[in-house]
Structure 1
Amino acid sequence: MKQAKKAARAFPYDEHPRLSLIVQSFNHVRNIDQIMRGLRQAEVDEIIICEDGSIDGSRERWAKHLKRRNDFVLLSNDLHEIRASDRAISLSRGEFICMIQDDDLLPPDGRWIQRALALFDAYPSLGCLGGFMGFRQYTWMHECFQNFEDGHESSPVCDNPIPTIDPRTGFPFMFIESVNIGPFFMRRSAFEAVGGWDFSYSDAGNPGMGYDHELGFRMWSSGFMTGLYYAPQYDSTFNELARKGGTYLWGREDRERAAETFPERLRQRYQDVYAQIRQRVDESNALLIPSSASYLEWPSRYRA
């Protein structure tokens, strides 16, 4: 107890963190040390673990790492992503929220977070921002873009690099209909304004495939924006580790069934407004600079 108090005093409680980071945890205990190294290196303001009933020792491993006053472990019993993360978001206090998964491989520094926050500052209407994959229309069956620089392998279903650069920050970035977790950043005020997650994407205890995609569409239809950026050296769920735990081993059939059905649900819900959403996306991307353009081809107002 004395050691815990001493550790907590070294990091005073932050009443108003800029970023709250939420980790979705389910049976990937071997990756926890790596995630925590990355989060501490990035100096994350607030960490909340959604520990959803792991049986591999994940709960105990998280507890060994989380000693600061803005560190939390939220225990639930097989609620799955939507409801567990909804509880965590309610607990969080950050102006921005970032969601990652327990099979992600984090970079050795905090540039992936710094870039995301800089893009939110540059675009006040940006509601959510992904650093993994972005999708035209309703899913990977259509045009898909991915962060796969730095020698990382691309997803087997998504092999287009981000084609534009944001002139305000100089970062690879594009506007797009939807993105997926993780990293998956949200502006809290926008998330609350559009009504939060759509709980109809799964019952408690079933995978919530597509709920992140749906939020991207809802941001556009509600006057906000969704974007995809290059998160330096971030390796998400197509790495080999992802296939050694979590829902790849527990509940895989439910996961695959949900992945097959959600694109049609998205299409049915947004087909009447998709043309307007696509127009907004295209108009927003017209403000960006092709990544093939040289610096001298940038508009003069963006050249120092």
Structure 2
Amino acid sequence: MAALVRRLALLVLLLLATRLHPAAAELDDELEEAPDASSSASTLNKRKLSPLEPVACPLVHAKRPRQIAPKFPGCKSSYVDEPQTVTLVLASAGGPPANLRASLTSAGVINQHVLILVDGAAEDGVTRTGFKGRAAWARAFTGNTHHLIFSSGRLGYARALNRLLSAVAFSAAQVIVLPLDTPERVSASEGNELGRWLAGARRALASAPPQVAALAACGASSTAFETKRRADRLPAVLAPLPGVPYIARARALLEAGGWRAAGCTSSSGSEDGGCEAASLADMGARLWAAGKEVRAYVGDEVGALKNSEKRWCDRPGARQASFSRNETACANAFHEASTRASQLISAAASKRGARRMPSTTEFLGELHAGCPAPADDKGICPPEPVPMLSLTLQYFRRGSYVGKLGDALRDSWTRLGGGTNVEVIVNNDSGDSHPRWSAQLARMPRALLVYSNNLHEIRAYNLMTRMSRAEVVAHLQDDDKPHGGWASNAVKLFGARRKLGLLGGYRGRFDGGSITELNIKMQAKNHIKYGPSCKNSIPTVEPLTKIPMMLIYKVNAAPLVVRRSVFLQLGGFQLGFSCKGESGIGFDFEYSVRNWKNGYEVALWNANFRKLGGTGGTRASKSKFDKRRRTEIRNNRIMFKMYPGFHHNKGNGMAMQANKGLVRRGRQRGSSFDPSNGFPNFSGNRQCTDPWHG
């Protein structure tokens, strides 16, 4: 009976997951077609190899937008929007070693994206030591593309790396991984060698055959073999050893689903987040099973790290598995993964010879079959729960609001059940108020505090959405205070409407009449707005949830709530709508149009947020407001070039017609529209009391 209940529960979860992932089919189109799982399993059984246990789906990763805005003119920033190599650094709460920046500089990656996650910082985040550690990291990595991330609770090796891997820009071909203890272990004398090794490994991986997924400074021993060709003189290994640097093809790690969330349980039953060695071995096994290879790059051909085996692999503790408190459970997990990968490598060597590697069809097994969560009958490494909602907040120099914002985030978190139901990510774009934010986020488990160098909202929201884990992601601003049951209503609306890609919580509009690319006055006049303090209120109700909502052509920030898989599939917000650190007004309208263009719905409902007051940002002065207005005009114009024949009449008509399926409300402000009768009379429409805020 208990088994039947578990199966029914799993079926319900899978159905809910399918309902909240409408873009799964499109997103999987670009992935390699999986062979028949049963035939693969049969092949493995004939070789006396056990099929791999099912692992997580490939990580849904951002893609380049299908409609690309022209680059914003006159940008002075050196920010790299499309890096080729991204460095992931896991660190403790202390500051960085002095030579780490020099190592990345000599490797040629310091000016590309460097993502640093200080794991479990909140345990130390409100102490003097934590403040000093943050300041030290900030001084060492001041570049435009360096992001320092603090976790409010212990994530552990796999979960922390998966956060960073998800944040990697879509353009990245390679990912450098510097594990938890690498920065502390890199001495000054080894700093230059690390840089030279990374530079050589980057070149070696770029020229290696496509099936080579990763190169490590050294790796766990296995039944390794080498090809006879000089260009492939890279020993095959199980996986990198804990604590050593390695470099991988980004796509290979993403398609493998990231690292297994190895949160081994302690004797008290709490998750400790260890099992680094088991997680590495498991990743190696899955890469080998999928027809990929993990190899060791010593660097002799470029003259770097000639003594790498001594430098990196024979250091005290380097070969010891890095486990959490439950040593036996983690050691067993490491042994099982190691055995699987070694069998796969050995089978490939005996059948194919030194020159041939295992194929996907022979060794894939159950990898990605049905894409369930990682299963573990022994309860050694339970999967991390997926949150219902991710709250992402863009913050810039509003220190007096931190307490109110923290309380509001905590309230929204509590109303959805607390725990791991809600994920909170704050981008501190100005770097101030670290003690205040650390204290606020310490009240919520595994919240992330991201430090960026004045990205502004477009790039900040793109970064936080990639890093988030929920399918429903809410983008919040630092002058709004979330209030009441808005979060629950947002989740319900996305669950009820499979095609809903974007939900606005403040204002929206229909366009009509004689709006053209060049007629600015008509752009400002010929539309009808809906929302708070406007002539027109929302006239319809979503039939399943009974929540007042309407489908609309464009919505304004904020809040903006997105379906993450659709957001990443469509490429996120347009980077060409602003320079780094500047206003990108109109990005919300363009993303609305892009949703309609690609078959997704845009809706408006009243989140009932409360304004915190004050004037700042692009409204702080006349000069800033004038620049904002010029940006708005420019971005409105280029939308006509981006969507010829669609924007605005065709797209607007689609939005109006889509409202036929909704239920009319009783009494509401203003004259409602009838989708069956075409456009309403847009001329002379009275606007909202604050026309420039939506």
Asked if Structure 1 and Structure 2 have the same fold, meaning a TM-score greater than 0.5 normalized by the shorter chain, the answer is yes
Deviation at 1:15, TM superposition (A): 4.3
Residue number in structure 2 paired with 1:104: 480
Asked if 2 retains the 8 angstrom alpha-carbon contact of 1:134 and 1:145, the reply is yes
Partners of 2:448 and 2:121 in 1: CA distance: 17
Which of 624, 633, 640 is 1:260 aligned to?
Answer: 633
Which of 24, 27, 30 is 2:397 aligned to?
Answer: 27
% same residue: 30
The verdict on how the C-alpha distance between 1:246 and 1:195 changes in structure 2, with shifts beyond 3 A counting, is: same
- String of CA shifts for 1:23-53, please: whole Å, max 9, x gaps: 1111222222112212211116111111112
After TM superposition, list the pairs within 5 Å mapping 1:59-70 onto structure 2: 59-67=434-442, 68-70=444-446
Residue 568 (structure 2) pairs with residue 147 (structure 1) = no
Residue number in structure 1 paired with 2:429: 52
Q: Which runs of 5+ in 2 are unaligned?
A: 1-92, 94-119, 125-151, 155-269, 274-383, 417-421, 516-522, 669-694
The verdict on how the C-alpha distance between 1:192 and 1:281 changes in structure 2, with shifts beyond 3 A counting, is: same
Partners of 2:480 and 2:667 in 1: CA distance: 32
The verdict on how the C-alpha distance between 1:52 and 1:71 changes in structure 2, with shifts beyond 3 A counting, is: same
Deviation at 1:262, TM superposition (A): 2.4
Partners of 2:121 and 2:632 in 1: CA distance: 45
Residue 650 (structure 2) pairs with residue 276 (structure 1) = yes
Deviation at 1:259, TM superposition (A): 2.8
Deviation at 1:199, TM superposition (A): 1.0
Kindly provide the amino acid, as one letter, of the partner of residue 427 in structure 2.
C
Asked if 2 retains the 8 angstrom alpha-carbon contact of 1:135 and 1:142, the reply is no
Q: Secondary structure at the match of 1:286?
A: helix
Asked if 2 retains the 8 angstrom alpha-carbon contact of 1:82 and 1:197, the reply is yes
Deviation at 1:211, TM superposition (A): 0.9
Residue number in structure 1 paired with 2:604: 228
Deviation at 1:22, TM superposition (A): 0.7
The verdict on how the C-alpha distance between 1:113 and 1:196 changes in structure 2, with shifts beyond 3 A counting, is: same
Q: Which runs of 5+ in 1 are unaligned?
A: 149-153, 295-304
Higher relative contact order (CA 8 A, sep 6+): 1
Deviation at 1:253, TM superposition (A): 4.1
The verdict on how the C-alpha distance between 1:51 and 1:4 changes in structure 2, with shifts beyond 3 A counting, is: closer
Residue 492 (structure 2) pairs with residue 121 (structure 1) = no
Kindly provide the amino acid, as one letter, of the partner of residue 502 in structure 2.
C
TM-score, with length taken from structure 2: 0.37
Partners of 1:3 and 1:119 in 2: CA distance: 35
Deviates more, 1:13-22 or 1:135-144: 135-144
Kindly provide the amino acid, as one letter, of the partner of residue 53 in structure 1.
S
TM-score, with length taken from structure 1: 0.81
Deviates more, 1:188-197 or 1:117-126: 188-197
Asked if 2 retains the 8 angstrom alpha-carbon contact of 1:145 and 1:162, the reply is no
Deviates more, 1:251-260 or 1:166-175: 251-260
Kindly provide the amino acid, as one letter, of the partner of residue 126 in structure 1.
L
Which of 154, 160, 164 is 2:540 aligned to?
Answer: 164
Residue number in structure 1 paired with 2:191: none
What is the total number of aligned residue pairs between the two structures?
276
Asked if 2 retains the 8 angstrom alpha-carbon contact of 1:47 and 1:71, the reply is yes
Asked if 2 retains the 8 angstrom alpha-carbon contact of 1:28 and 1:246, the reply is no
CA-based RMSD of the aligned residues comes to: 2.8
Q: Secondary structure at the match of 2:488?
A: helix
Residue number in structure 2 paired with 1:135: 509
Residue 556 (structure 2) pairs with residue 180 (structure 1) = yes
The verdict on how the C-alpha distance between 1:74 and 1:3 changes in structure 2, with shifts beyond 3 A counting, is: closer
Q: Secondary structure at the match of 1:61?
A: helix
Greater C-alpha radius of gyration: 2
